[in-house]
């Protein structure tokens, strides 16, 4: 055999080997490529992590999260009610698991939330006689709570929803008359931000609320954020929760609000995105968690599946939302959906228990909705 022929055969072998390696690498890449990779140049793509992963150890769901998302938020496990025990102690079990998941997958891990009127016992604010404790006493409790949590996860949790839902939904959108507010006034907000910042100066601190893209509450949010900035409160971002419905609010309205928040020099996060498809038989803000209505089958029309025309309409709504978000990517840090697949969404039980909703990007079998393909196509 001549040298050149030998070379040729060796060359052919090498070519075969290289193409095999390429094919393997391609298969591996496919396995690891998800929404997060398509949007890598735009913003982070996040999801909320709930008990299915943390307590029920749902491996299918964890694998899906690792493939599709590069940011996580704890749905419940770092709220006061979950992380504190009745004896004023701590229960970090799920919180630690959540943070480990983020570290293992090199994710932008968000903490939720340091000061919120909900999922916190009255005993935090009241003495044995049922009267409010003093401003100083509440500040001390906040110091302990916030510095312990932020300190424990320093360097691992990169951003915190420092204060959640401080604006009321009623006429004129005043500040919510929560126990925090009743005792400390608006100072409870600056206090939460200041303590978080002192504990971890590198943490990105967010004010998070629902419906702040909508007229009335939007103006109230802008005014609040300006007041905080005037007091030099260390605030870096604003979280538009984005619990949307299939019919509203309009994309233009969401876009306008993103631009207004960005004008304040704040990074914008969509923190709890989902799109409700079920009939809204009430006229109330979608995320006020204490609201409940009675179940009737008329209020649960897609129990046995989503009709094709609704799936289409829903997919188009996701697409036009993301088109707008991509256009405004310079201002947007992260887009987080409130859960991974329809079966785990809070909306199945809110504000009516036991309905069948389709608000997320993955269905009950954990297969992508049509919307998913549209979001990928926007980036091709
Ligand atoms: O999704 C959360 C649900 O599992 C809890 O039961 C509920 C209790 O308040 O909180 C839900 O998450 C809320 C979030 O923490 C703040 N914004 C509104 C969300 C939906 O209610």
pLDDT tens per residue across span 225-260: 999 999 999 999 999 999 999 999 999 999 999 999
- What are the backbone angles phi and psi of residue 109, rounded to the nearest 5°? -100, 125
Q: Computed from CA positions of residues 14, 17, 23, 25, in that sequence, does the dihedral angle turn out positive or negative? A: negative
| CB 74, CB 111: distance < 8 Å | yes
| Per-residue pLDDT tens digits for 315-332 | 999 999 999 999 999 999
Residue 355 has pLDDT above 80, yes or no: yes
Cβ 51 under 6 angstroms from ligand 1:
no
Cβ 271 under 6 angstroms from ligand 1:
no
- Paired sense of beta strands 204-209 and 71-74, if any: unpaired
| Per-residue pLDDT tens digits for 7-40 | 444 455 666 666 766 666 655 555 568 999 999 9
Give the residue, by CA position, lying nearest to ligand 1 atom 12: 75
Mean pLDDT of 300-327: 97
Task: Give the integer Cα–Cα distance in Å for 278 and 119.
Answer: 26
- What are the backbone angles phi and psi of residue 278, rounded to the nearest 5°? -80, 155
Supply the pLDDT for residue 87: 78
Give the residue, by CA position, lying nearest to ligand 1 atom 17: 287
pLDDT band at 287 (very low <50, low <70, confident <90, very high): low
Centre of ligand 1 from the C-alpha of residue 14, in Å: 56
Supply the pLDDT for residue 16: 62
| CB 302, CB 360: distance < 8 Å | no
Of 46, 53, 76, 163, which is best to mutate to test ligand 1, by the most ligand atoms within 8 angstroms of its C-beta? 76
Nearest atom in ligand 1 to the alpha carbon of residue 50 is 4
Centre of ligand 1 from the C-alpha of residue 16, in Å: 54
Centre of ligand 1 from the C-alpha of residue 276, in Å: 15
Mean pLDDT of 293-313: 94
| Per-residue pLDDT tens digits for 48-72 | 999 999 999 999 999 999 999 999 9
**Model pTM score:** 0.91
Task: Give the integer Cα–Cα distance in Å for 351 and 119.
Answer: 17
Of 78, 269, 346, 348, which is best to mutate to test ligand 1, by the most ligand atoms within 8 angstroms of its C-beta? 346
Closest CA to 276 of 348, 335, 325: 348
Q: What is the mean pLDDT of the chain?
A: 92
Residue 6 has pLDDT above 50, yes or no: no
Closest CA to 331 of 42, 72, 37, 107: 42
Give the residue, by CA position, lying nearest to ligand 1 atom 4: 346
Catalytic-residue membership of 165? yes
Task: Give the integer Cα–Cα distance in Å for 263 and 177.
Answer: 28
Of 75, 213, 272, 311, the active-site residue reads 272
Cβ 76 under 6 angstroms from ligand 1:
yes
Closest CA to 145 of 111, 170, 177: 111
Q: How many CB atoms lie within 10 A of CB 136?
A: 10
Task: Give the integer Cα–Cα distance in Å for 270 and 304.
Answer: 30
pLDDT band at 5 (very low <50, low <70, confident <90, very high): very low
- Terminal CA-CA length for the chain: 49
Task: Give the integer Cα–Cα distance in Å for 343 and 341.
Answer: 6
Of 165, 213, 311, 333, the active-site residue reads 165
């Amino acid at each position: 055999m001549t040298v050149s022929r030998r070379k040729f055969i060796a060359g052919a072998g090498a070519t075969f080997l290289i193409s095999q390696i390429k094919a393997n690498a391609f298969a591996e890449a496919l396995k690891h490529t998800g929404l997060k990779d398509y949007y890598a140049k735009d913003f982070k793509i996040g999801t909320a992590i709930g008990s299915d992963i943390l307590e029920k150890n749902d491996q299918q769901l964890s694998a899906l999260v690792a493939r599709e998302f590069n940011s996580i938020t704890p749905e419940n496990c770092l709220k006061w009610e979950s992380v504190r025990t009745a004896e004023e102690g701590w229960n970090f079990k799920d919180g630690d698991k959540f943070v480990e998941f983020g570290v293992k997958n090199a994710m932008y891990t968000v903490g939720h939330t340091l000061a919120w009127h909900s999922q916190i016992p009255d005993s935090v604010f009241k003495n044995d006689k049922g009267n409010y404790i003093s401003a100083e006493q509440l500040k001390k409790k906040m110091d302990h709570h916030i510095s312990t949590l932020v300190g424990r996860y320093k360097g691992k949790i990169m951003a915190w929803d420092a204060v959640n839902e401080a604006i009321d939904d009623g006429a004129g959108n005043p500040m919510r008359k929560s126990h925090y507010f009743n005792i400390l006034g608006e100072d409870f907000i600056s206090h939460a931000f200041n303590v978080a910042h002192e504990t971890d100066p590198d943490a990105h601190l967010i004010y998070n609320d629902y419906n702040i893209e909508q007229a009335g509450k939007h103006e109230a949010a802008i005014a609040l954020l300006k007041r905080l900035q005037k007091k030099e409160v260390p605030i870096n971002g604003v979280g538009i929760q984005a619990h949307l419905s299939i019919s509203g609010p309009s994309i233009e309205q969401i876009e306008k609000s993103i631009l207004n928040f960005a004008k304040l020099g704040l990074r914008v996060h969509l923190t709890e995105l989902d799109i409700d498809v079920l009939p809204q038989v009430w006229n109330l803000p979608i995320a006020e968690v204490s609201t409940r209505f009675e179940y009737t089958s008329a209020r649960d029309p897609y129990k046995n599946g989503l009709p094709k025309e609704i799936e289409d309409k829903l997919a188009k709504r996701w697409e036009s939302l993301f088109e707008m978000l991509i256009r405004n990517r310079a201002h947007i840090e992260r887009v987080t959906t409130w859960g991974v697949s329809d079966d785990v969404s809070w909306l199945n039980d809110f504000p009516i228990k036991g309905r069948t909703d389709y608000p997320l990007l993955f269905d009950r079998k954990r297969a992508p909705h049509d919307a998913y393909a549209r979001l990928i196509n926007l980036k091709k």
